[in-house]
Amino acid sequence: MELVLDFSIAKVYKNNSQRIRVITESWTSKNIYCSYCGKQICQYENNRPVADFYCNDDHEEYELKSKAGKIVSSILAGSYDKMIERITSEENPNLFLLSYFDKSVNNFCVIPKYLLTPSVIKKRKPLTDTARRAGWVGCNILVDNIPEIGKIFYVKNGIINDKRKVLEQFNKIAFLKQEKIESKGWILDVLKVVDEIGKDDFTLKDVYDFEQRLAKLHPDNNNVKAKIRQQLQILRNKGVIDFVSNGNYRRIK
């Protein structure tokens, strides 16, 4: 894998976002493999509505979003209604996020399609009456709201990750594919809390400290503590965390 972006291929394009699109798509099709099976991905011809790449083997699709800068924390993602419709349908592609810095790829990660839940999509303010598309409502994907385990990096801070590790990590979170949106929401929210605790070893009390926030996110539930314990049990069964002793947990790397 080569991290330098080839800017010479897009000299004919005057529009900057179009140039970046051509350059980053070309880089991705040369360097990136399918997150599911590890085979080289293929690029769609232009003008596909959503997906940019696909895998010939398992037919998984990918959309690429690129951004200048060192990290991607939030990304503009077109119409809000279309996005909600898309993430709740079968047609939803996986998301590749690329950030570049100094003409070189600094970060490249995949977000599996089943982690794009409505809670990571934020509605933007409608366009004002003077705009050409007055009243149109766009959205952002809040990448920061996705737990770390759900962002699988091929390249992180300019360092290329081992392919075996990328596929392993991608596989680790795959159990969420089967979960319904509501239970998925709970698991992801608890994972996000574990991220924020920020330690490999943590206690049940550390997680309980976020009870208020989780209660706010799930107003219909009146036994948040029991729900927290249930999510930790699921994460243990799926090999994401370990039970060390009563009330003590450890993240599995």
Instruction: Give the interface with Zn ion as residue ranges (CB under 5 A).
Output: 34, 36-37, 55, 57-58
Least gap, CB of 39 to Zn ion (angstroms): 5
Nearer to Zn ion, 43 or 140 (CB): 43
Tokens of 83: 């996005």
Min dist CB 35 to Zn ion, Å, is: 8
Q: Which is nearer to Zn ion, 41 or 87 (CB)?
A: 41
Residue 78 to residue 140: CA distance in whole angstroms: 8
> Judged by CB, which is closer to Zn ion: 10, or 41?
41
**DSSP per residue, 79-129:** EHHHHHHHHTSTTPPEEEEEEEETTEEEEEEEE-GGG--GGGEEEPPPPPT
The burial class, CB within 10 Å (0-12 / 13-18 / 19+), for 220 is exposed
Q: Toward Zn ion, which CB reaches closer, 41 or 194?
A: 41
Distance in angstroms (rounded) separating the CA atoms of residues 108 and 106 = 7
Dist. CA 92–CA 86, nearest whole Å: 5
CB of 14 to Zn ion, least distance (A): 36
Q: Of 58 and 148, which has the nearer Cβ to Zn ion?
A: 58
Task: Give me the least distance between CB of 52 and Zn ion, in Å please.
Answer: 15
Using CA atoms, how far apart are residues 252 and 242, in angstroms rounded to an integer?
Answer: 7
CB of 250 to Zn ion, least distance (A): 32
